[in-house]
Amino acid sequence: MPTIQTFLLPDLGEGLTDAELLTWLVKVGDTVELNQNIADVETAKASVELPSPYAGTVVALHAEEGATVEVGSPFIDIEVAGAPASDAPEPTTAEPAPERTPVLVGYGVAAESTGRRRRRPAPVVAVAPVPQQERPLAAPPVRYAARRGGVDLKDVQPSGSRGEVTRDDLERHLSQAPVADPAEPEPRTARPPVTGLDEERTSIKGVRKHTAAAMVQSAFTAPHVTEFITVDVTPMMDLLSKLKQSKHFETVRITPLALVAKALLVALRTNPSLNSSWDEANQEIVTKRYVNLGIAAATPRGLMVPNIKNAHTLGLRDLAQSLVMLTTTAKEGRTGPEDLAAGTITITNVGVFGVDSGTPILNPGEAAILCFGAIRRQPWEYEGEIALRSITTLSLSFDHRLVDGEQGSRFLATIADILSDPISLIALS
């Protein structure tokens, strides 16, 4: 006998609390197959296609396109044939979990999280009505600020729409300011709305919301230092021209960014502190012997920093291919959560916009970010004479808790030396 199964929106990665429904790919009355994509949703980290955990007929859609859906909330109802009526209540709370978890785990941030993700759907249903009993809801920056302030979030009165502790709640708790009685009248006189202004208001959500929180956390947590160096990269551009004509790069699009990335990877071998992170909880500096190279990418959905896993193991040809694939995927909106996780150091290429330099903000959890500016033909002193040369500016922002000024300076100078004399790529490799 047919029964109706309610699919609850799962956690799509690293404890995210909600997702925006972009597009329904099915409608009421449609027949869907197991694993068929039913909707496009956007989390704070990526846009993903959501597969159906059931085969059957769609009988209800619980959200409209553009709406924000909380994790654990009903998402879609599907009538499944052949399930006994007496078992109808059970599949919606227990049985579907192991069935749909293998489908959705591909959208998680790491393969090793499979075990945790498999157990997650059942607790979501059971615990959602009383989340404060175990772990108060709060965004990662708020939890971090609470740890630094020695505050147990269970002691903070939440005011968020979902019962979560907000930054304002935490600051109010720290200052011991009394919470205003909602019954009391607003002390300030409300101003009349200003009319006649040509404005557009956009909801802060998805990637933009996540980026904003991450940048604020980074800017006010890591003590930033930025250094600059101007480099004659004429030899690098000459090498690039030769590589483009080489048979080894016939099918590969190689760009100046690929050579800058390779120079950075080589420089890290003698400057490992730039590839580290600060573990506040354990009061440790974690130096990583692998390099997951992040590339800041401007996409239609906002700033994203996908990374190339184990970039330190790649030769120049493979690195160039990976860069093209990474940026193309990001611009097409197909970057998955796993591509955004576990970065160790980042490059931002502002030169593509014609900008000479910048003071980039660190990607949270990383020690450094290299800014690559525009390459311009300029008069330059060369071998005792003034000549027209290819000049660029590199800037390096680093976390001064992890990197001393000498270390940061040597790292930046090493990259500059490699780009001005590319034969160093062979000598230092």
* Residues annotated as catalytic (active site), given as ranges: 400
* Sign of the torsion formed by the C-alpha atoms of 43, 44, 45 and 47: positive
Candidates 58, 33, 364; CA nearest to 212 is 364
Residues 60, 76 contacting (CB under 8 angstroms): yes
Q: Report d(CA 15, CA 214) in Å as an integer.
A: 15
Distances (CA, A) of 421 to 235, 236, 238, 239, 267: 6, 7, 11, 10, 13
Candidates 417, 408, 365, 395; CA nearest to 273 is 408
CA 83 to chain centre: 41
Q: Report d(CA 377, CA 373) in Å as an integer.
A: 13
Q: Report d(CA 160, CA 167) in Å as an integer.
A: 10
Residues 260, 372 contacting (CB under 8 angstroms): yes
Residues 59, 4 contacting (CB under 8 angstroms): yes
User: Following DSSP, what letter does each residue of 302-369 receive, concatenated?
Assistant: EEE--EETTGGG--HHHHHHHHHHHHHHHHTT---HHHHSS--EEEEEGGGGT-----PPPPTT-SEE
Candidates 14, 72, 76; CA nearest to 46 is 14
Distances (CA, A) of 395 to 199, 235, 361, 368, 401: 35, 20, 11, 10, 18
